[in-house]
Amino acid sequence: MENDTIAAIATGLTNSGIGIVRISGEDAIKIVDKIYQSKSGEYCFHKYKSHTIHYGYIVDRDNIDDAFDGEEGKSRANGKNRIIDEVMVSLMKAPNSYTAEDTVEINCHGGILMVKKILETVIKNGARLADPGEFTKKAFLNGRIDLSKAEAVMDVISSKNKFALENSIAQLNGSVFKIIKKLRNDLIYEIAFIESALDDPEHISLEGYHEKLEKKTKDILSCLKKLLDSAENGKILKEGIRTVIIGKPNAGKSSFLNRLVGEEKAIVTDIAGTTRDVLQENVYLNGIHLNIIDTAGIRYTEDTVEKIGVEKARKYAREADLIVYIVDVSVPLDESDYDIIQMISDRNFIILLNKTDLDILVNEDIIRHEVKNKYGKDFFDKIHFIETSIKENKGIDEFEDVIRKMFFKGDISFNDEVIITNLRHKEAILDAYESMLQVRKSLEDKMPEDFYSIDLMSSYASLGRVIGEEVGEDLVNEIFSKFCMGK
């Protein structure tokens, strides 16, 4: 299976200007030789140099004699070739290709039917349909890329904002691989030194090594901690900020969602309780991705359907990365507001003081004062209050700035910083970190050197899982099964 020549459509299955069928494997050139005809009528694809592109036709040769003149590459067909499409075909010979195998890409017209027809022709002439991610899997198995770079390929494709894209490209260029490789090199050096000293104490002394290893352990722990700390931002960059809009009925929640989306996604009326169920949308604010959920207004109600909506609002609020609590400043606070404030008091939230174009009966000072009187404390030490008038588009820019400061500590800039976005990587790094904590404890307890070696090796193996040097076949198959078909 791993040595099969595989083929798949590498572009989206939608009508477009160009479609690409990718072929990779030891028989890739031989297969294309059968179906590619140059403009002059030759079948000599095997004669072309690597990293060249050629204009011609993909043809169906079922109705002709397959024999051809090997010298000139001229067909000796008795019948007439049926041209399938006019194409440009690129050739990348092993090992200088994405998969490190002979690879051919047929660039054809991008109609769905046309691309499928060319793929069928390729498969009919000896290729096998590729499994999801199999081209990238070949690149990994052939040593072309490590596992962290392979996973970054899919992250580049699925990036939902420019920051996630920049980070994915950095990982594709080896940002994660380089730091993990350095840490593993540092660890294996210490392991080898300890083992050598234990095997040959007459020639290799461990005198003073305790202090040296303490410093090295501290440095490695610091580096691993920095990677782990980046993972929370990484998760948000990759998946977006789970944002839930809550408030009393008719506070302006649906109007706020519509303003962010830029179109009328939610029904807006003057009737309180219009929103009965949740409405989910993806919103991009200056490159920041929000997964926004508009919920039913929270209040006491006898309406069975509205009750269900209120309970859903509470559930989503408990699971949110960010809660946007919208307060109608034209009406006084009531028990529903106090209920909401207590519910979200331990979460990340922003309070939008909406409808500031009307007579203002509630402001930040009043909310703080009323809440302190009721609960004996202020829940808003680090909470952002933003005065808005969604009707007049006031406060939206400030809302974007606040989100950036809350989640990304100011401007997002990657430079040389490595940000962990993959949960599998985070878990492996956490295991490595815990092993290094055990090394530190053994040092503090003055344990024998072979104790250090065991935990150093455990940390080394855990980091190996990130780049694919300590993973089994089942995990590799699972990772690549999540890729799209042509990648």
pLDDT at 165: 76
pLDDT at 299: 58
pLDDT at 277: 52
Q: Helix 162-172 vs helix 209-239: angle between axes, to the nearest 10 degrees?
A: 140
Q: Are 420 and 231 in contact (CB under 8 A)?
A: yes
Tell me the chain's radius of gyration from C-alpha atoms: 31
Nearest Cα residue to 22 out of 44, 7, 41, 40 = 7
Q: Catalogue all structural domains in the chain, each as residue range(s) with its CATH number.
A: 6-140 (3.30.1360.120), 152-234+419-481 (1.20.120.430), 242-408 (3.40.50.300)
Q: Are 252 and 324 in contact (CB under 8 A)?
A: no
pLDDT at 416: 57
Q: In which residue ranges of the chain is pLDDT below 70?
A: 1-2, 62-81, 161-163, 262-278, 286-287, 296-308, 382, 407-416
pLDDT at 68: 42
E strand or H helix that includes residue 483: none
Can you list the alpha helix ranges (DSSP code H) found in 142-294? 147-158, 162-172, 175-199, 209-239, 253-261
343 to 246, 340, 349, 472: CA distances (angstroms):
11, 5, 11, 45
pLDDT at 305: 64
pLDDT at 169: 85
Q: Are 250 and 328 in contact (CB under 8 A)?
A: yes
Q: How far apart are CA 472 and CA 461, in angstroms?
A: 12
pLDDT at 3: 80
